[in-house]
Amino acid sequence: MSKTIEPESGSVLAELSQDASSRKRFLSMVGGAGAAGALAMFMAACGSDDDEKDSASSSGENKTKSTGGDLEIVNYALTLEYLEAEFYAEVIKSGVVTDKAVGEAAKMIGQNEQEHVDALLATAQKLGTPAKKPKTNFQPVIDGGEKMVLETAATVENLGAAAYLGQAGRIQSKEILAAALAIHTVEARHAAALNKIVGKSIVPDGAFAKPASMEEVLPQIKPFLA
C-alpha cells in the first residue's frame, strides 16, 4: 500500500489542500485544471520537516516564524541563483562554448538566471536581510573545456530544479510559493534542454521529479565556492 505524505501543518500547501477557495485561486493562477496534478505531486513529494513545526499558540509568534522561514528559503534560492548566474556569465565571457546555437542558449539561460537573482533579491529585501553574493571559482570547469562546461551546466540546472521542489512544502506565503513554482518550472526546462545537449534523458527521474533537501544540495555547490 502506498503511503500518502500529508503537507506540513500551517504551510501554504496544507492551506491549499484544505481550503477550496484558496485551491481554486491557486489553480487559476498557475494554469487551470492541469495544475491539480502538479499540486498533488508537490504535496506528495515534499512532505514535512519536523524541525520546522511550530507549536506556538500566539498568532503573532506564528507570523514571525513564517516570515523567518520564508526568508531562509528565499535566501537559499538566491544563493543558488547567484551561483548559476555567475557561472553562465563566466562561461560566456570565456568563449569556451564554440557551438553557436549552444552559445545562444547559454546566453538566454544566463539571462533567465540573472532575472531570478533580481526577483529573489527584491523579495529577500522585503522580508529582511538578503543573502550576500558568494565568491565563486568556476575556472577549473572552464579549463576542462566545452564538454565539461556543458555537463556541469546540466548538473547545476537539475540540482536547482530539485532544490526548489525540495523547499515547496516549507513555504508559508502563497505569493512566494507561486514565484518558486514559476522559477522551478524554468529551471526544469533549462535542465531538460541541457540534458539533451549532453546526451542524457530529458527526464532523468522519470515521470516524477525528485526533490533535494538543503543538506543534499549544499555539499554539491561547495566545489564552486572560492
**146-155 exposure pattern, b = at least 16 Cβ within 10 A, e = fewer:** beebbbbbbb
- Residue 132 resides in a domain: yes
Total number of domains in the chain: 1
Please tell me whether residue 136 adopts helix, strand or coil conformation.
strand
Q: In this structure, are residues 212 and 45 in contact, taking their beta carbons and an 8 Å threshold?
A: no
The answer to the question of residue 215 being in a domain is: yes
User: Could you tell me the CATH number of the domain that includes residue 143?
Assistant: 1.20.1260.10
**Residue 187 three-state SS:** helix
Indicate whether 48 belongs to any domain. no
Domain annotation covers residue 36: no
Taking CA atoms, 127 is separated from 67, 81, 121, 123, in Å, by 7, 18, 10, 6
Spatial CB neighbours of 57, under 8 Å, sequence gap ≥ 6: none
The parent domain of residue 195 ranges over 70-224
User: Does residue 1 fall inside a structural domain?
Assistant: no
Three-state secondary-structure class, residue 225: strand
Cell of 159: 540540482
Query: Residue 67 has what pLDDT?
Result: 57
Q: Please state the φ and ψ torsions of residue 19, each to the nearest 5 degrees.
A: -105, 110
Residue labelled with grid coordinates 503511503: 3
Size of the chain, expressed as the number of residues it contains: 226
Alpha-carbon distance of 142 to 93, in angstroms, equals 10
| pLDDT of amino acid 21 | 52
Closest by Cα among 226, 153, 161 to 196: 153
Q: Does residue 14 lie within any of the structural domains?
A: no
Residues of the chain with pLDDT under 50: 1-7, 16-17, 22-66
